[in-house]
Amino acid sequence: MIERAIRLLFPPRCAFCGTLLRREENEICGRCMAQLRFLPPGSVRPPQFVDRCVGALDYAQQVRTAVHRLKFRGRQSIAAPFGRLIAYQVRMQMDEPFDLVAWVPTSAHNLRTRGYDHARLIAAETARRLETPLVQALRRVRRTEPMFGLSAAERRANVFDAFCAEKDAPLPGARVLIVDDVLTTGATLSECARTLKDAGAERVCAAVLAVAKKTR
Ligand SMILES: [Zn+2]
CATH code for the domain in which residue 148 is found: 3.40.50.2020
Q: Specify if 51 maps to a domain.
A: yes
Q: Specify if 162 maps to a domain.
A: yes
For the chain, the domain total comes to 1
Q: Are 101 and 132 in contact (CB under 8 A)?
A: yes
pLDDT tens digits along 152-188: 888 888 888 899 999 999 999 999 999 999 999 899 9
Using the mean position of ligand 1's atoms as its centre, give its distance from the Cα of residue 62 in Å.
Answer: 9
* 79-91 mean pLDDT: 94
Using the mean position of ligand 1's atoms as its centre, give its distance from the Cα of residue 149 in Å.
Answer: 30
Q: Specify if 74 maps to a domain.
A: yes
pLDDT of residue 215: 55
Using the mean position of ligand 1's atoms as its centre, give its distance from the Cα of residue 23 in Å.
Answer: 14
Q: What is the pTM of this model?
A: 0.90
* 12-23 mean pLDDT: 88
Q: Specify if 27 maps to a domain.
A: no
Using the mean position of ligand 1's atoms as its centre, give its distance from the Cα of residue 58 in Å.
Answer: 15
* 17-23 mean pLDDT: 89
Range of the domain at 136: 37-215
| For residue 132, pLDDT beyond 70 | yes
Work out the burial of residue 42: count CB atoms within 10 Å of its CB; fewer than 13 is exposed, 13-18 middle, 19 or more buried: exposed
Q: Specify if 4 maps to a domain.
A: no
Using the mean position of ligand 1's atoms as its centre, give its distance from the Cα of residue 125 in Å.
Answer: 20
Rounded CA gap, 177 and 124, in Å?
Answer: 12
